[in-house]
Amino acid sequence: MERLQKIIAQSGIASRRHAEELIKSGRVKVNGTVVTELGTKVEKNQPIEVDGVRLSKEEPVYFLLYKPRGVVTTASDDKKRKTVVDLIPTDMRIYPVGRLDYDTTGVLLLTNDGTLTNLLTHPKNKIDKVYRVKVKGIAKAEQIIPLQEGVVIDGVKTAPAKVKLRKTDPSKNTSMIEITIHEGRNHQVKKMMQAVGLDVLKLTRIRFAFLTLDGLTSGNYRKLNPKEVKRLYELAQSKKHKTNKKHL
């Protein structure tokens, strides 16, 4: 017996969290009966439908994309804009792991593996996300230090971040900052910079976990190899175990 949301995630149709939303909204049937209660356990061979479509388990696939500007980080868009999924020709039902803003570029993982997606996006597992940020103005120590300690955005203080001032250009009145966070709040990096008086001109995610842009150009992608997939699982699970030990 497995939890219903886990089976849906393993089918490749959605992440674990999205699967929970599908269940709560009454879009899932088991044996022809609508199920809305989270945590419901079912046999893997029981017929499960989402929006009237019978689930079939897909082989897991993993893609690393160099997301360009002007593309939305979603599997589909009601405004008919190009999505990150459109950039990867595959018949598999893949979806992005986390989000990058419309005008943000950089490392983005796409997969149909709901279990891995849940591990990598759960805030307790503290997966590093590293960004290179070009800001207007010459950044000062009194702006960098609060970012390292955590700043309040949307009424909630962010977790401490690793922040390095990489470069300043007095002639253009700009600075280049590298920031490492592990949260995934909406527009987080931009809002953190705004909180200390810095306006973002350009934002690129240069690393997610240990995955980088090496060998890729904007709009290109590659498949992850088995060793990389295994390492992602090991990394996320090790972070999870460390967190659990702290609460014992």
* Residues 118 and 240: beta-carbon distance below 8 Å: no
Phi, psi values for residue 36, rounded to 5°: -120, -5
Q: Encoding tokens for residue 193?
A: 């910079």
Buried b (16+ CB within 10 A) or exposed e, 106-135: bbbbbbbbbbbbbbbbbeebebebbbbbbb
Which sign does the torsion angle of CA 218, 99, 128, 163 carry?
positive
Is position 101 annotated as part of the catalytic site? yes
Selecting among 86, 101, 128, 169, the annotated active-site residue is: 101
Which sequence positions are flagged as catalytic? 101
